[in-house]
Amino acid sequence: MSFSYIDLFAGIGGFHAALGALGGDLTLAVELDEAARETYKRNWGVDPEHDVVEMAGPRLEEIGHHSVLAGGFPCQPFSKSGRQRGMEERRGQLFTEIVKILKRYRPPLVVLENVRNIAGPRQQSTWREVIGGLREAGYRVSATPCVISPHRLSPTVGGAPQSRDRVYIMGTYVGERAVRDVHVEPSVARVPDLSWSPDAWDLLQQIVDPDESVEHSRYRFSSEEREWLDVWNDFLRRTRDIRLPGFPLWSTYWSDDAVVDPDAPRWKQVLEQKNIDFYCDHRSIIRAWLRANPRLNSFPLSRQKLEWQAQDSPRDLDQCLLHLRPSGIRAKKLTYSPALVAMAQTPLIGPLGRRMSPREAARLQGFPDWFQLDHQPDSRSFKQLGNAINIGVAYFAIRRHVARDADLIAEQGGQSLVDAVLASPDLPVIRRP
């Protein structure tokens, strides 16, 4: 049993891994980024085409029939970290190239992935355009976003310890009735398994390599980073009997003459006032800490801020998972990681005194240990992994959707797709070429 699929905006092959594990055979991959194409070719033995616009235009007839169209179309126009220009940006308009291919070939199943914000308040018109475009092309699709994160899935079905909400847009071809069949529920619930608790994850046991197996000198904390953490650890020790607030701690507002900036946005004014109040409530402890750590004032402004999100963990940054973010030093429990992003915000593993390695980050995304990344700089690997889809989530979502719509998919010539997916195991077994 097998079925054919095409992999658009293919990145380094997350959909390739998931669909291959479901029994699929690739007939076309397309990826614009040269470095990502090299990683794809090195690992999957396929050299992707370069340009989706060209494939959907003058080379449309070369694509050939397929059972599944998959693609993580560009997220930057919709991401909160960007300008959120949506369909006004050229990359945001690449969705229309997908629709051209769907209208020509009518594969029984389309699976698209993007950031959660594509269905957010500022992108309502974009979301309507995406859903409307798919329905016009003949696809039965839910207007309610299907939002899934790997940390909400049990490890028995492909979950991983990473909080990474992504929208999966899954459509089944039904023809003209798609524009009338609009009352469709998402094929995966927001919390797909109520019996699984994300707090049960353990990064050190499930993702992180033993320290001796990692080239420690490449990833260890710098002396500057060590100083930042030591100063804030002193703060945590001095305030161990104080309940820390949930808002970010901004030491730049911890002085007797601090005032709220009248020209700041309202949200920032609120945080400034909260920090001033926190200082006033604990003035003697904070002033003693400031006197003992005058070097704090020489830190970059983002390192004069602490976001304590480790709840009841020991007051020790060396026992936390850390992110050095533009908004401050963020400390979390060593259960699951924040989302990998395509920027230089590699998680720091406090107990090991080092950054997460690309191999460990690849595991967070579901890539097998044989997946090769060592042909390129680590920064490029992290960028590619931050842009990748999570394999376990894609595998889980497609299985759920095909199981629900099995009869409809079979009616459209997708019986081999249904048979292969329903026969697949709970966990993806990723095929090595």
The arrangement of strands across the sheet holding 321-325 comes to: 249-250, 305-309, 328-332, 321-325, 348-349, 354-355
Is 75 considered catalytic here?
A: yes
CB atoms within 10 A of CB 270: 13
CB atoms within 10 A of CB 238: 16
Which distant-in-sequence residues (6+ apart) come within 8 Å of 180 by Cβ? none
CA-based nearest residue to 56, from 4, 86, 94, 113: 94
Of 75, 146, 280, 320, catalytic = 75
Q: 3-state SS string over the chain? A: CCEEEEEECCCCCHHHHHHHHCCEEEEEEECCCHHHHHHHHHHHCCCCECCHHHHHCCCHHHCCCCCEEEECCCCCCCCCCCCCCHHHCCHHHHHHHHHHHHHHHCCCEEEEEEEHHHHCHHHHHHHHHHHHHHHHCCEECCCCCEEECHHHCCHHHCCCCECCCEEEEEEEECHHHHHCCCCCCCCCCCCCCCCCCHHHCCHHHHCCCCHHHCCHHHHECCHHHHHHHHHHHHHHHHCCCCCCCCCCEEHHHCCCCCCCCCCCCHHHHHHHHHHHHHHHHCHHHHHHHHHHCHHHHHCCHHHHEEEEECCCCCCCHHHCEEEEECCEEEEECCCCECCCCCCCCCCEEHHHCEECCHHHHHHHCCCCCCCCCCCCCHHHHHHHHHHCCCHHHHHHHHHHHHHHCHHHHHHCCCHHHHHHHHCCCCCCCCCCC
Cite the active site residues.
75
